[in-house]
Amino acid sequence: MIHREEPAGLTVITQPAHAWISGCLARVWGNEQFGSFAPTEEVCLGAEQHDIGWLWWEGVPTLNANTGYPYNFMEVPTEEHVNIWSNAKQLALPFGRYVALLVSLHGTGLFERYRGWQNSAESSQMVREFLGHEYAFQEKLTVSLQNDSHYAQYATQEVIARNRSLVATWDSLSLALCMGMHRQQQFSRVPTASGETTLTLTPVDNDPTQIKVAPWSFQHKEVTLVFEGKILQETFTNETAMRAALASADCTTITTVLSPG
């Protein structure tokens, strides 16, 4: 769950809704500088479903007693986080091996980059076991794809690494846009046609719904993104009450327009 501060109250956006925006970015991504990617539909679907493991949790979100709100994605305790990502690959697998591989790779990438779990011996053991299972799953899928006459060309180390990096890029961009940007942000190691670059996103007049992007990485002259959230106007001490309030909360639609910087 993503938290976005708005004048009307705290807007909460689900992880699958944020992932949908990642998929929207993927489908309009690419130009002469940024190139293309393949297999196109599988990578777009992988981006769109990269947070599929959160589906069950978002239906019954847990309460952060320190804030009085449902946990945002950065606050979820390690055990809960591991459970979410342990289920993701099996939920993604019905979409196909390539999608499931990208989802699994995205999950392990998060634990590899953000290592707060190392502060506890119990958490460390839990995450290492999780990573071991995921690495074995990834290796099995990769070999299967490499032995497939259609997917072999997309299952090389280089192609998988680039597609994995693209999913991570769209994830980061979508998170920033969903959270609401009030200052310029930079995103490094973004894949291009010939290497990597840094993207700079700048809100126009401090408006998080009007964003300039430089260098421009999309196929069209302008990109419009639409996503939904729910507004919470109070904090809670009881998880059941929080879930009930969230279920009946007013929905809000947020439109964000990207244009060349």
Report the alpha-carbon distance of residue 202 to residue 182 in Å, rounded: 8
Residue 43 has pLDDT above 90, yes or no: yes
**207-214 and 251-260 as β-strands: parallel, antiparallel, unpaired?**
parallel
Residue 117 has pLDDT above 90, yes or no: no
In this structure, what token pair is assigned to residue 41? 């539909």
pLDDT single digits (tens) 50-62: 999 999 999 999 9
pLDDT single digits (tens) 142-201: 999 999 999 999 999 999 999 999 999 999 999 999 999 999 999 999 999 999 999 999
Average pLDDT over residues 4-18: 95
pLDDT single digits (tens) 219-235: 999 999 999 999 999 99
pLDDT single digits (tens) 62-96: 999 999 999 999 999 999 999 999 999 999 999 99
User: Quick check: helix, strand or coil at residue 9?
Assistant: strand
How would you label 59-78 residue by residue, b for 16+ Cβ within 10 Å and e otherwise? eebbbbeeeebbbbbebbeb
CB atoms within 10 A of CB 79: 13
* Per-domain boundaries in the chain: 2-182+231-253
